[in-house]
Amino acid sequence: GNSVTQMEGPVTLSEEAFLTINCTYTATGYPSLFWYVQYPGEGLQLLLKATKADDKGSNKGFEATYRKETTSFHLEKGSVQVSDSAVYFCALSDSNFNKFYFGSGTKLNVKP
């Protein structure tokens, strides 16, 4: 079946530190992979996505590369800001885009 596993939080970093949030997946077929971000009191927002192996998704300084050989989609940012504090969710969709599977979320706290 399909599932997503991401590192547990919270992750606490100082401003300008390097960020990595690990995500691995199990899937049948050829899933698309996503990172969503959730700010307090809000719904999820799409941060970036990749639709096939070796694709790199990027947005707002965040990047993630679809690694089929390691079934991973790790989120990285070179220099985090206080405004990046949020909960980050890794997700995948089945080949038909009908069903989506989310990880449990990783809370990021960035301190000034």
Q: Which residues bind other proteins (CB under 8 A)?
A: 32, 34, 42-46, 49, 51, 89, 91, 93, 97-105
For residue 31, count other CB atoms closer than 10 A to its CB: 25
* Closest distance of CB 5 from other proteins, Å: 10
Kindly tell me which of 26 and 81 has the beta carbon lying closer to other proteins.
Answer: 26
Kindly tell me which of 25 and 103 has the beta carbon lying closer to other proteins.
Answer: 103
| Cα angle value 104/110/111 (rounded, 5°) | 145
Say whether the peptide bond before residue 31 is cis (omega within 30 degrees of 0): no
* Closest distance of CB 22 from other proteins, Å: 15
Side-chain-side CA neighbours of 104 within 13 Å: the count stands at 6
Kindly tell me which of 29 and 112 has the beta carbon lying closer to other proteins.
Answer: 29
Contact present, 11 and 19 (Cβ < 8 Å): yes
* Closest distance of CB 24 from other proteins, Å: 14
* Closest distance of CB 76 from other proteins, Å: 20
Kindly tell me which of 9 and 17 has the beta carbon lying closer to other proteins.
Answer: 9
Nearest to 88 by CA among 34, 16, 51, 50: 34
